[in-house]
Chains A and B, each alone.
Chain A
């Protein structure tokens, strides 16, 4: 039993945890989780983040020490837990003491706000707080190690997978199902039924669900756009919300009575918003796309924030409506009929999704899609194959931005309002998460991702306090069972589940 190895794992997690606290990530994640679930404090999100890390400490310790019995697993988990608990506990204790004595810790560490520590203290005095933190991390280490051992020992993952796919195959092999699958028109029937269902659904859903699912649908459109940028072209864009905002502000400024009173029609503004967003994408892309990976992420993130801050700026209030936003944004009408209820919008959004998904599908399987894929894998080689990578990156940016602009027009017009708070960094992060959760590069994945990330929290509202627990458990389970995403593209599945190749010794070389 290699206790030192387990301790080392604990120290690693302890260090990471302290870094995360120092960087203010606990506060950030706490805020996100609070936003998702309308909580009153950031503490839950912060602890979920740290708790997952602490569990991971136990899991890693168990795995790296190759613990081969319950007892060994427990020792490994406990050792890691004590190590990480001691580190983080002492850290919290020291900082809490400093804060209580009135020291301004932010003069050294700007992100270390009193809130970052308060979130972890449960209102206790420094020493008690340190002990509480210690206890939680230790317990989590142990809790991580035991199921990890159980899962390895009883091969839960494998058992679940074979059960799941076995059930599916059995279902598909049932005589009537098999016969239907053979039938030539089967796909048309399935798609036809799906379409009919989609057309009826808005009639059956009430106002609340049309509104809620409409928001999910707008996130699907955003997700499909970001999927092109991140999933297909491999460009990490963290300021994607900017293009959403441009679409929304275009429709707001051109149709609302204030601040401009231009009063254009929705149908005219829709293409303008899409084109403006797309042009902005290209204008941002030209300087930025020459940068590689991480720089691109940072610059786009900054751009997203700049757009939001501009829209909020007092100086520009007469132009953008300022912090209060723009009210009475016009909705569409046709032949004098007003079509701006949530229900009507549900139809527009469904049509929009079908359109955008179809475009994505066509692009993905085109020469352009192939170029994106090659470029994402190896930019230099792609360039040497004759792919003008900058052009294809710009194209991805422009198309992604156009989709976001489209989503923005629908969003502002349906809400009859737009304001800077609709376009925080959180939107970009949410959209990125849903693309990843669904499975990068996969169209159905984006739909599922949006349903899980934006829809599920709403649907679980019934469960009240427990919904956070359920939601968290679902996410964790998913990441363990399907690291490639819920509905990954065929390619990623091939890649992750293809059997190992057999090494060739004598090739059938030159004839």
Chain B
């Protein structure tokens, strides 16, 4: 039984038909990756799942409950959180306040403290900078903060949009180690990446998107073997 089912979703930006019938499944406990060129519709898919973009047709079902008609601020309470493309942390809020914003819908103060502890254990740099405003962090630290902020919602499904974008290779390694760790601790993850090599190293299954359609899907091993994928995304 899939945790998340995206069924034949179509979305539009004005006249632009961005998603042309996307269907995706994510099972509980998996890391699933979406890869594809710029403009393929990866971010739009994530935004449709968290309610920021409304599908014109199709459905999105999370644990047997349709969520595609819910406003974004209610989808969080269903256990879905996103670390958006380009990080988009709150530049004027401190690191700690950014993390608290991630837990905005929660009232369990004790558990929130625990989760913050957990974020700081994963990203000690954030703890050192907890009183610093987000806008003054380096790119890597902002990425950590964006992931940490999403974790603060205590999501069962975590959506990560290009967490490696613009980071030095060493940092990318670190971020992906955390992704794997989060997954081992029980968070299901849908990971959007341009860096297919890194994505395949952590994911179980993947989908390849092209101009708003899923053109290929399979286990990571299958995708790695696929000549088209090798040519287009693995530089082989």
A372-389 CB contacts (< 8 Å) to partner B: 373-374, 377-378, 380-389
Contacts A374-B101, A384-B76, A386-B76 given: A507-B171 contact, CB under 8 Å? yes
Q: How large is the interface on A (under 10, 10 to 19, 20 to 34, 35 or more residues)?
A: 35 or more
Contacts known (A377-B92, A504-B125); A385 close to B104, Cβ less than 8 A: yes
Query: Is A480 among interface residues, defined by CB-CB distance under 8 A?
Result: no
Closest 3 CB pairs of A and B: A509-B174, A386-B105, A386-B76
Additional A-B contacts beyond A377-B91, A498-B133, A510-B122 (14; CB < 8 A):
A384-B75, A384-B81, A385-B153, A386-B76, A386-B104, A386-B153, A387-B101, A387-B104, A498-B135, A507-B125, A507-B171, A510-B174, A510-B177, A510-B181
Q: How far is the CA of A510 from the CA of B121 in the complex (A)?
A: 8
Tell whether, in the assembled complex, residue A511 and residue B84 are in contact, meaning their CB atoms are under 8 Å apart.
no
Instruction: Name the interface size band of chain B.
Output: 35 or more
Report whether B71 and A383 are in contact in the complex, using a CB–CB cutoff of 8 Å. yes
A494-B133 contact, Cβ under 8 Å, with A383-B72, A384-B52: yes
Q: Which of B71, B92, B104, B173 contacts A491 (CB 8 A)?
A: B92
Residues of A within 8 A of B138 (CB): 501-504
By secondary structure, the A interface counts as: loop
The distance from the CB of A378 to the nearest CB of chain B, in whole angstroms, is 5
User: Given the complex of chains A and B, what is the CA–CA distance between A382 and B102 in angstroms?
Assistant: 9
Q: Which residues of A contact B (CB under 8 A)?
A: 367, 370-371, 373-374, 377-378, 380-389, 491-492, 494-495, 498-511
Does B32 have its Cβ within 8 Å of any Cβ on chain A? Answer: no
The smallest C-beta distance from B161 to any residue of chain A, in angstroms, reads: 11
B233 close to A (CB within 8 Å): no
Interface membership of chain B positions 106-125, coded 1 if the CB is closer than 8 angstroms to chain A and 0 otherwise: 00000000000000011111
How far is the CB of A183 from the nearest CB of chain B, in Å? 26
Cα distance A510–B91 when bound, in Å? Answer: 24
Q: A370-B100, A371-B104, A384-B72 are in contact. Are A511 and B121 (CB under 8 A)?
A: yes
B88 to chain A, nearest CB (A): 5
Cβ–Cβ < 8 Å partners of A501 in chain B: 136-138, 141
B105 to chain A: which residues have CB within 8 Å? Answer: 385-386
Within 8 A of A (CB), among B171-191: 171, 173-175, 177-178, 181
Q: Name which of A377, A378, A382 has the most chain B CB atoms within 10 A of its CB.
A: A377
Distance in angstroms between the alpha carbons of A370 and B98 in the assembled complex: 10
Q: How far is the CA of A356 from the CA of B170 in the complex (A)?
A: 51
Which residues from chain A contact B82 at a C-beta distance below 8 Å?
384
Contact between A504 and B140 (Cβ–Cβ < 8 Å)?
Answer: yes
Quick one: given A384-B84, A507-B141, A509-B171, are A389 and B73 in contact (CB under 8 Å)? yes
* Beta-carbon contacts under 8 Å, B39-97 to A: 50-52, 71-77, 81-82, 84, 88, 90-93, 97
Contact A384 B50 (CB under 8 A): yes
CB nearest to A492 among chain B residues:
B92
Q: Is residue B168 within 8 Å, beta carbon to beta carbon, of the partner chain? A: yes
Kindly state the separation between the CA atoms of A382 and B149 in the bound complex, as whole angstroms: 11
Partner of A380, one of B52, B76, B93: B52
In the complex, the chain B residue whose C-beta lies closest to that of A511 is B121
Q: Is B21 an interface residue (CB 8 A)?
A: no
Query: Most B CB atoms within 10 A — which of A371, A384, A504, A511?
Result: A384
